[in-house]
């Protein structure tokens, strides 16, 4: 098995950049360590202990990301000890099906392009928010979450702001919760709409 990651580290993805709390409880995040004998030794790692201090509460995403980064490092060490390889700083550019049914994956690493062959390819590339150009008074969820809401406070009028949240799923409710917490006293009836 070959793992490819365009960043320098496995595990944390982009979670460390968000200045908000998880909606996963800390104890639930740690359960992964109890389900795998290979990962159980990490229970006493300082980053796991840091997570454990939040008990059954939510925890700041940078703390969750640091723990997931530790899990990633550990998993990479286990993989390197087997017949697998972990390539960081390796960006998958293209996947093509070959005549024999296998796949050719074009990878760029340190400015050099390589071709890897594989029987199976798993895409685990995450997602990114859709940026809709709605004008200078619009804020993306990514900006809102990365700035812990300061972007909204700076942008909205100080009296009777009215906000439309476009999209009706997880990020929309997280944004509404953040705005209610930050702007509560400034929001009149019907000021926030999803």
184 near 157, Cβ under 8 Å? Answer: no
Applying CB under 6 A, among 1, 8, 19, 23 the residue interacting with ligand FAD is: 23
Q: Is 62 in the site for ligand FAD (CB under 6 A)?
A: no
Q: Is 22 in the site for ligand FAD (CB under 6 A)?
A: yes
Cβ proximity to ligand FAD, 37 vs 123, nearer residue: 123
CA distance linking residue 126 with residue 107, whole number of Å: 18
Q: Is 59 in the site for ligand FAD (CB under 6 A)?
A: no
CA distance linking residue 73 with residue 88, whole number of Å: 11
Q: Is 3 in the site for ligand FAD (CB under 6 A)?
A: no
Give the residue from 70, 66, 59, 48 showing the smallest Cα distance to 25. 59
Of the candidate spans 6-14, 32-40, 41-49, 154-162, the one that interacts with ligand FAD by CB under 6 A turns out to be: 6-14
Cβ proximity to ligand FAD, 1 vs 160, nearer residue: 1
Applying CB under 6 A, among 1, 24, 102, 114 the residue interacting with ligand FAD is: 24
To ligand FAD, the closest distance from the beta carbon of 159 in angstroms equals 29
CA distance linking residue 90 with residue 107, whole number of Å: 6
- Cα distances (angstroms) measured from residue 135 to each of 131, 150, 159: 11, 18, 20
To ligand FAD, the closest distance from the beta carbon of 158 in angstroms equals 27
CA distance linking residue 179 with residue 153, whole number of Å: 9
Which of the residues 64 through 93 are near ligand FAD (CB under 6 A)? 91-92
Applying CB under 6 A, among 81, 99, 126, 189 the residue interacting with ligand FAD is: 126
77 near 84, Cβ under 8 Å? Answer: no
Letter string b/e over residues 142-163, b meaning 16 or more CB atoms within 10 A of that residue's CB: bbbbbbbbebbeeebeeeebeb
Q: Is 25 in the site for ligand FAD (CB under 6 A)?
A: no
Cβ proximity to ligand FAD, 18 vs 183, nearer residue: 18
12 near 44, Cβ under 8 Å? Answer: no
Task: List residues binding ligand FAD (CB under 6 A).
Answer: 4-7, 13-15, 18, 22-24, 61, 91-92, 124-126, 145
């Amino acid at each position: 098995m070959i793992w490819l990651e365009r960043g320098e580290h496995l595990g944390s993805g982009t979670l460390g950049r968000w200045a908000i709390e998880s909606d996963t409880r800390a104890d639930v995040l740690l359960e992964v360590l109890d389900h795998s004998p290979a990962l159980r030794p990490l229970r006493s790692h300082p980053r796991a202990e840091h997570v454990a201090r939040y008990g059954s509460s939510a925890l700041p995403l940078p703390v969750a990301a640091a723990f997931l980064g530790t899990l990633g490092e550990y998993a990479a060490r286990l993989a390197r000890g087997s017949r697998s390889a972990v390539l960081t700083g390796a960006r998958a550019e293209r996947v093509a099906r070959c005549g024999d049914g296998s796949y050719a994956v074009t990878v760029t690493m340190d400015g050099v392009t390589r071709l890897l062959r594989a029987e199976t390819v798993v895409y685990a590339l995450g997602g990114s928010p859709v940026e809709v150009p709605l004008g200078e008074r619009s804020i993306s969820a990514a900006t809102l979450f990365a700035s812990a809401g300061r972007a909204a406070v700076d942008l909205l009028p100080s009296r009777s702001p009215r906000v439309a949240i476009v999209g009706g799923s997880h990020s929309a409710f997280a944004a509404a919760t953040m705005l209610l917490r930050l702007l509560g006293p400034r929001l009149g009836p019907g000021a926030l709409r999803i």
